[in-house]
Amino acid sequence: MATEPVRLGACPNCESDIPSGYLLIEYETENGRAQFAECPDCREVVHPRL
């Protein structure tokens, strides 16, 4: 039984879905958790949008 990869969010530049395997770093801020990930389509390092 195959499962779909967990989605981190969408790229703010090209709107592509960013799967969890592209997560580079996750950290805590005063406003909660933040992430940097590489977009698989445009190859930019971004904060995924939920």
pLDDT of the residue at 50: 87
In a domain, 31, yes or no: yes
Query: What does each C-alpha distance from 38 to 2, 11, 30, 31, 33 come to in angstroms?
Result: 24, 9, 23, 22, 17
In a domain, 1, yes or no: no
- Tens place of pLDDT for every residue, the chain, 50 residues? 566 678 999 999 999 999 999 999 999 999 999 999 999 999 999 999 98
In a domain, 2, yes or no: no
In a domain, 24, yes or no: yes
In a domain, 15, yes or no: yes
Cβ-based neighbour number of residue 12 at 10 Å: 12
In a domain, 13, yes or no: yes
How many domains is the chain partitioned into structurally? 1
pLDDT of the residue at 1: 57
pLDDT of the residue at 17: 97
Q: Domain range for residue 41? A: 7-46
In a domain, 30, yes or no: yes
